[in-house]
Amino acid sequence: MNYWEFRHSLKEKKFSPVYLFIGEEKALMEEALSELKKVRFKEFNYVAFFGDEINWNDLLPYLESPPLLGNQFIVVRHAQDLKDQNIPKKLEILFRRMTNTCLVFMANAEEEKPKKISFSKMIPPEGVIEFTKFRADALRKWIKEKFQEKGKNIDDESIYFLSSYYSENIGLLIQEIEKVCIFAIDKKDITIEVLKKVLSPVEIAFYTFLDAILRRDFYLALSGIDTIFNEGTYPQVILEILIRQMRQLLRANALFKDGYSSEEIREKLGLHPFVVKKILDTLTKYSAAEIFEIYFLLRQTDLEFKTTAKDPKVLLEKVLLKIGAKI
């Protein structure tokens, strides 16, 4: 089950007695745990463990002898570190019999090499929730829903900005959404102007930088890049986003040349209508050959990042100057 299916199951009040939260998006995992705690029981005793500090014998009494009165909510963090030895044979039976207990295993969050969860086969399929990174369209949907939950409407340009800048850090994005909603407590509509008043200079500089690239204004982009660097944004991150943007332009251009409408392009690429509009507007400023050349230069720079000891900041500035001179 994925994140969206899990959220739907909570709305439908369809619960599993035991869950395995697994995946790389720790912030979404924590959010899901919080939502589950709100709706599973009205009142409960809360018990938390760390997988590297306990064994199955520590956990078993809570499952074999649950409280006669009341409910219990048990969370085992770092569940991938629970030792494989001595997994009770009756564990699967105990899992099925739990009525006033909710048990949540949280595993592999932010792990570079996810460990195999040996007991996962004992957990019912509806209890295994995968928290993978959002695709671009899913992230935009999630941002819109987060603001709606707080009684706010957010416009497409603001969604585009937040999804572009925070795509690699959902945890930070959650914090920024909270910050924006507190600042705009008396406003119903969230616009890019509201975001500019709340977010830090580096975030606004990043938005200006990316927008300048799409508008073919490379010198404006260069003028703001120092702010981005000074606030600690890695050149590699900026380059990855630029490569992703150019790849998106190439795909959209190919579809457009083949006669696809903006709606068909949106469906093919899984993009928000605002993003498609911005892409098609950008395609009026660049030829296909220019986009391909920019993409090629960016990929060359990416290779230099990975294979040389040259200063990444200098490499990024050089490629922007080179692109600006060529086009």
Domain 3-131: assigned CATH number: 3.40.50.300
Structure tokens belonging to residue 112: 């570079």
| Domain residue limits, the chain | 3-131, 134-199, 214-327
Read off the pLDDT of each residue in 41-45 and give the average, rounded to a whole number: 88
Give the pLDDT of residue 297. 92
Domain 214-327: assigned CATH number: 1.20.272.10
Q: What is the distance between the alpha carbons of residues 76 and 252, in angstroms, rounded to a whole number?
A: 45
Give the pLDDT of residue 327. 58
pTM for the model stands at: 0.67
Give the pLDDT of residue 111. 59
Nearest by Cα to 252 from 262, 239, 240, 241: 262
% residues pLDDT > 70 (the chain) = 95
Q: What is the mean pLDDT of the chain?
A: 86
Residues 127, 106 contacting (CB under 8 angstroms): no
Q: What is the pLDDT of residues 67-93, one digit of tens each?
A: 778 899 999 999 888 876 667 777 778
Give the pLDDT of residue 84. 67
**What does the buried/exposed string (b/e) look like for 60-90 if buried means 16 or more CB atoms within 10 Å of the residue's CB?**
eebbeebeeeebbbbbbbbbbebeeeeebee
The residue type found at 169 is: N
pLDDT band with cut points at 50, 70 and 90 for residue 163: confident
Kindly tell me the sign of the dihedral angle through the C-alpha atoms of 266, 270, 275, 278: negative
Kindly tell me the sign of the dihedral angle through the C-alpha atoms of 255, 256, 259, 265: positive
Read off the pLDDT of each residue in 286-307 and give the average, rounded to a whole number: 91
Confidence check: pLDDT of 153 > 70: yes
Q: What is the pLDDT of residues 112-146, one digit of tens each?
A: 556 678 788 888 899 999 998 888 888 999 999 99
Give the pLDDT of residue 32. 93
**What does the buried/exposed string (b/e) look like for 245-274 if buried means 16 or more CB atoms within 10 Å of the residue's CB?**
bbebbeebbebbeeebebeebbeebebbeb
Which CATH architecture does the domain made up of 134-199 adopt? Orthogonal Bundle (1.10)
Decide which of 67 and 38 is more confident.
38
Q: What is the distance between the alpha carbons of residues 222 and 224, in angstroms, rounded to a whole number?
A: 5
Give the pLDDT of residue 227. 73
Confidence check: pLDDT of 37 > 60: yes
Fold agreement between 3-131 and 214-327: no
